A and B are shown apart, each in its own frame.
Chain A
């Protein structure tokens, strides 16, 4: 049959849902993805963001939809009641929304013409408006940003905005940088430049800034040699960890790791083997060639200190846990 095939786009949400932030029309936590397009048209979604208890979605035509917790007016709907399906956020004098970022209990909206609108809690000045305003259920215009903004980000209690104009940093020998995007963690900040450099500042409590200091008050450039000299093409952040994609398509993660958020297992001292295995030299108990590096099961709980290979045999010096049978 002739004609173009239309891809149907479906929005799925899952996880915590006490405030209806999944937009599924109820407030039960969901352990598996379920469709959340009740309030949405069959349009494609171009941007989506989640805050502490609320969600925001921008459609292809630039309409902003919000749902979830709304006690501080973070949904920008001019009221403070919870919403359990995605509702359009009417923005007067704004035809299109370009980007949205959700903080803990506030939202930062970037319009098509580079203006920034904010709503929700201002308890820590995160809205960038008069400190006399404690919170706002109506999106407020951030007037002090008088240049077109190209990227916004929201952390737990802070917000960032970058413009297309050249910035000057006073440290690290970089005089002029052009921001590509800004990203916020819970208490840290990231700026990715068009040249592919990553600047980091804020809290380094969990090593997310790759620094020896606990806190960086000024942007510091990430050492590119850590990424094998590659340019960074995109960067994202969770509360306390970072994910960066480089020009070769590789993905690097760093920061807090205790819940497995870096997607890496601890590699230190682990013994892996691969290759010819006719005499069992790969040590996996079989005589079949091993095509990909695989851990040797026998050494699962051991730490290798030294390894060596002969022609058809392998050796490893390990330190075992004290309750292991050292004779085996």
Chain B
């Protein structure tokens, strides 16, 4: 396992709406990047495209993770029927 260069809270990342990616400065001059999708999937590592350094992203997983799509429940009448039968 590679050593993390640093641990950075998600709040310290800059979010780009267009690319849906979070960015944080890397000492090499480029930026550590992690996509919104990665975060939603519980990913914790932001990588730099120009060098080998990586950072751990600190965030509340419960707050960000929403990988499942939950369908809206059907109308309540059916449920009442079931309960009564």
Contacts and interface: CB of A to CB of B under 8 A. Distances in A.
Interface of A: 16, 18-19, 21, 52-53, 69, 104, 123, 156, 186, 239
Contacts of B25: 52, 104, 156, 186
A242 B27 CA distance: 16
Query: What 9 A-B pairs are tightest by C-beta distance, nearest first?
Result: A16-B29, A53-B29, A104-B25, A52-B29, A16-B28, A156-B25, A52-B25, A239-B27, A123-B14
Nearest to A103: B25
B60 interface: no
B41 interface: no
A16 B14 contact: no
B14 A21 contact: no
Contacts of B27: 239
Residue of B27, B29, B30 with most chain A CB atoms under a 10 A cut-off: B29
Nearest to B3: A258
Interface string B18-32: 000000010111100
Interface in B22-70: 25, 27-30, 50
Interface residues of B, number: 7
B29 A19 contact: yes
5 contacts: A18-B29, A53-B29, A53-B30, A69-B29, A156-B25
A209 to B, nearest CB: 17
Nearest to B26: A52
A108 B29 CA distance: 18
B29 to A, nearest CB: 5
Contacts of B50: 16, 18
Nearest to B27: A239
Contact of B29 (A21, A156, A186): A21
Contacts of A186: 25
A18 B14 contact: no
Contacts of A69: 29
A16 B48 CA distance: 14
A16 B27 CA distance: 10
Contacts of A19: 29
A156 B14 CA distance: 13
A43 to B, nearest CB: 27
Contacts of A239: 27
A31 to B, nearest CB: 13
Nearest to A105: B25
A98 B50 CA distance: 34
A294 B29 CA distance: 38
Residue of B25, B30, B50 with most chain A CB atoms under a 10 A cut-off: B25
Contacts of A18: 29-30, 50
Nearest to A54: B29
A233 B69 CA distance: 62
Contacts of A156: 25
A104 B14 CA distance: 13
A239 to B, nearest CB: 6
Contacts of A21: 29
A53 B29 CA distance: 5
Residue of A16, A186, A239 with most chain B CB atoms under a 10 A cut-off: A16
Nearest to A29: B50
Contacts of B29: 16, 18-19, 21, 52-53, 69
Contacts of A104: 25
A298 B60 CA distance: 50
Given A18-B50, A53-B30, A69-B29, 15 more contacts: A16-B28, A16-B29, A16-B50, A18-B29, A18-B30, A19-B29, A21-B29, A52-B25, A52-B29, A53-B29, A104-B25, A123-B14, A156-B25, A186-B25, A239-B27
